Structure 1
């Protein structure tokens, strides 16, 4: 077996172990076997749009669920038949009795609750409460099966967070760079101005010297001619 093959196998093993650790970690953090679900219907519009990804946490006890909470649960009618159809709706009514807590739910876009689907919801159908919503990420995960799609969603969320903080840090660095550049360039501008002033003084001095020389060595007509030259020089300057 070549070294390249060994390296490839090693990389694959590392990736598989990393995925397993991430997945188990997500389950532990959110307290549920499936922390992520993709919205597949419009029954909760506008709160939840189709292909939104909801992050569900199962750490909230069913006893603590109140009216207005958005929860994820199995359809009670199908669950009795051994089928697991997952639904996300909002709690609309507490139907609890002295013996058992029972709630009724309703989709925000639905006109009313549906018997066998929205109620009666008990603890055995309850999966968790919606904690976060990630808009439209579900578009790219519909073709994949769990847990790969959930891991991809987790990676996307992580990248979004990293880019968010990286963008802030980049802006901070650019601002500091601009500030430092301004501090460095300021003396150069002053030096340039001083250089221009020095050049002007030298030109005026040379003109003055030429004027004195003409006055000493030439006649009145020559002095007048020299003066006209000085005026021309000043115009050029």
Structure 2
């Protein structure tokens, strides 16, 4: 049983989409000055300002030295750096080096090891924009739904390429006399016209040759007649 390979057109489409996504992602990283400009709120510690599944756009170009009390920032948890936290700056603990303390708006107090001490090493960026509830989309991208979406997209690409090849084959084997091919009919009409013109030219040439031969025959007859008349005149004179 022959193995079916993925059409080259599908591979080309996948590469184009992949390169496009990569270029856009790199552009966003450069524009916002952080490796990941987007974060999804996963807890209710900042309710009511931030809701679960809100998407945060983080500005990493905002210098840590310019952060003030009241700003909402994104940072790595200082105790182990294994979680990303989004809280509001509650106070400045030290200026040299700058060290701050944060607190969740919904929390009764700051949590040691989570809200402080935060230095420039933990700082990721300042929250610039909030996209309410857009984070629900991320739930659709979790396994196994994300794999299903990928399979559907690739399937659509394959069907698209197969339909394109089928249409090309049908066009190449289509009847040239079909009314859907007016250009072919026009070309055939031109050929017929050329053939008719050729027949007319041949007919004219034959007619001219016949006329010439008839003229020659008439001239010969006139000469013979003249000779006979001259002979008759000579006889009469004698």
Given candidates 12, 20, 31, the residue that maps to 2:14 is 12
Question: How far is the alpha carbon of 1:142 from its aligned partner?
Answer: 3.2
Give the Cα separation in 2 of the matches to 1:121 and 1:30: 21
Alignment match, 2:124: 127
Structure 2 residue 140 is matched with structure 1 residue 138: no
Q: Deviations over 1:8-30 (max 9, x none)?
A: 11111110100100110110111
TM-score, length-scaled by structure 1: 0.56
Give the Cα separation in 2 of the matches to 1:22 and 1:31: 14
Alignment match, 2:80: 78
Q: Deviations over 1:107-153 (max 9, x none)?
A: 001111111100000000000000000000111213537xxx9xxxx
Structure 2 residue 101 is matched with structure 1 residue 101: no
Q: How many residues align?
A: 141
Q: Deviations over 1:144-197 (max 9, x none)?
A: 37xxx9xxxxxxxxxxxxxxxxxxxxxxxxxxxxxxxxxxxxxxxxxxxxxxxx
Structure with greater helix percent: 1
Alignment match, 2:210: none
Give the Cα separation in 2 of the matches to 1:124 and 1:136: 30
Given candidates 49, 66, 71, the residue that maps to 1:64 is 66
Q: CA RMSD in A?
A: 2.1
Larger radius of gyration: 2
Stretches of structure 1 lacking an aligned partner (at least 5 in a row): 150-237
TM-score, length-scaled by structure 2: 0.56
Give the Cα separation in 1 of the matches to 2:122 and 2:100: 11
Alignment match, 2:31: 29
Structure 2 residue 113 is matched with structure 1 residue 111: no
